């Protein structure tokens, strides 16, 4: 039971919910409580690869935290969200539309090392409190900026207002923030409607197990 599990997380479930379900299922199989941990979360609305560690393998979590990641994301342009994704309050910004050429130019601007503002709705601690707790209570704080690297950022498809991209990024990169920044740079706003993590280091979604059943 000391192993690495690759899980394809469904939408609508938290990463902690995935851990709890897997722990429950494994514990039932062996007849005693099994230790299970994750190596980096996905937002509840997102899908894709989660690496879980079981038993003594949980001591290896540090090996996975700094691995590069690959994502596929859909950005709805012309609107913004308080959370940067579908779970927030949505407001219209612009219906002017932008060209594919404009998008290609902007994507190039975000390729390489960039300074990214951490989203208000994130688990980062500000003065000892989670940023998302402060945001939910309407407490305004100055969010920190971090250096991250966007190794590749590719336009997959575009038909206003839906923009689909693929990206390969360093650990610590927020794709929600990237979507917001792309929309802001285009002058029309943007937020993520879909996000899927397809790879972490050499671990691929094709080798992951989908969760079955409820709860």
Show which residues are catalytic: 43
**Are 46 and 52 a contacting pair, CB within 8 Å?**
no
Closest CA to 195 of 6, 52, 9, 19: 9
Which residue bears the tokens 């929600």? 176
The 3-state DSSP class for residue 106 equals helix
Closest CA to 181 of 99, 95, 73: 73
CA 175 to chain centre: 6
**Are 92 and 78 a contacting pair, CB within 8 Å?**
yes
CA-only gyration radius of the chain, Å: 18
**Are 162 and 79 a contacting pair, CB within 8 Å?**
no
Q: Residue 22 corresponds to which tokens in the numbers above?
A: 């897997």
Q: Which helix (H) or strand (E) holds 16?
A: helix 15-30
SS3 content of the chain, % helix, strand, coil (to 5): 25, 40, 35
């Amino acid at each position: 039971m000391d192993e690495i599990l690759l899980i394809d997380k469904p939408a609508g479930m938290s990463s902690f919910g995935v851990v709890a379900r897997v722990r429950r299922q494994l514990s039932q199989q062996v007849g005693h409580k099994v230790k299970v941990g994750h190596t980096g979360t996905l937002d509840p609305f997102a899908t894709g690869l989660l690496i879980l560690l079981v038993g003594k393998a949980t001591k290896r979590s540090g090996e996975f935290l700094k691995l590069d990641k690959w994502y596929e994301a859909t950005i709805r342009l012309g609107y913004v969200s308080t959370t940067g994704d579908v779970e927030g309050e949505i407001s219209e910004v612009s219906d002017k539309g932008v060209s594919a050429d404009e998008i290609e130019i902007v994507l190039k601007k975000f390729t390489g090392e960039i300074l990214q503002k951490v989203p208000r709705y994130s688990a980062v601690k500000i003065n000892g409190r989670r940023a998302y707790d402060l945001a939910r209570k309407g407490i305004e704080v100055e969010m920190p900026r971090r250096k991250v690297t966007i190794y590749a950022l590719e336009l997959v498809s575009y038909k206003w207002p839906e923009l689909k991209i693929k990206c390969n990024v360093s650990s610590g990169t927020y794709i929600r923030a990237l979507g917001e920044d792309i929309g802001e740079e285009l002058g029309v706003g943007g937020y993520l409607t879909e996000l899927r993590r397809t790879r972490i280091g050499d671990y691929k979604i094709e080798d992951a197990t989908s969760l079955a059943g409820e709860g």
